[in-house]
Amino acid sequence: MNETANVVRALPEPEEDLTPEELAAKWEAEAPPSAGPIANLASSAVATVLGAAGIVLSLQLGLGSPAQPQPGMWPFIMGVVIVALGLSQMFIGRHGGEGEKFSRLSWLVLLGVATLVGLVALMPVIGFEIPSLLLCIVWMKYLGGETWRSALLYSALVVAAFYAIFILALGTTIPHLF
């Protein structure tokens, strides 16, 4: 009987039974270490530089007008938004909360970016179906932690839905195999 009582006391308390203050304290205790102001400044600078590069590249594509937009219009708008957010984070936001310190899991972002680059590189060559399927599988399995069965099933459903929407329904000019 005493052994059972010790096991019951060792079990973690369900989160529904915690007060908001206790829950906030628990989450703060489990949070990763903060990155610090230098890391926040550096990440803001990187975002600002990437946004500025997007602006320069979009200007080369041509902006057009709101009534007759050219290919650079939306990348230009997004570049301006990214620069504005990066600068505001650099000067205003760093006085707020601390960002997370990079950890082993932070490198998964590079996997996501690499798969997107692969998608962009392969799409003109073999269409969007196979690269999109591979991208979805990698993201669901390795970034999302899904089982193989659900990653394969959901990836096939996502690609089929995109095909139905963009190729069959909208008739876009996305490169495709079928």
- Spell out a b/e string for 95-122, using b for 16 or more CB atoms within 10 Å of the CB, else e: eeeebeeeeeeeeeeeeeeebeeebeeb
Do residues 89 and 131 both lie within one domain? no
- By percentage, how much of the chain surpasses pLDDT 70? 87
Do residues 146 and 132 both lie within one domain? yes
Whether the per-residue pLDDT at 175 is higher than 90: the answer is: no
Average pLDDT over all residues of the chain: 84
Q: How many domains does the chain have?
A: 2
Do residues 84 and 131 both lie within one domain? no
Residue 68 placed within a domain? yes
**pLDDT, tens digit, 9 for 90 and up, residues 130-156:** 999 999 999 999 889 999 999 999 999
Do residues 141 and 75 both lie within one domain? no
Query: Higher model confidence: residue 66 or residue 18?
Result: 66
145 is in which domain, residue-wise? 103-177
> Which of 53, 78, 102 finishes a domain?
102
> Which of 61, 80, 102 finishes a domain?
102
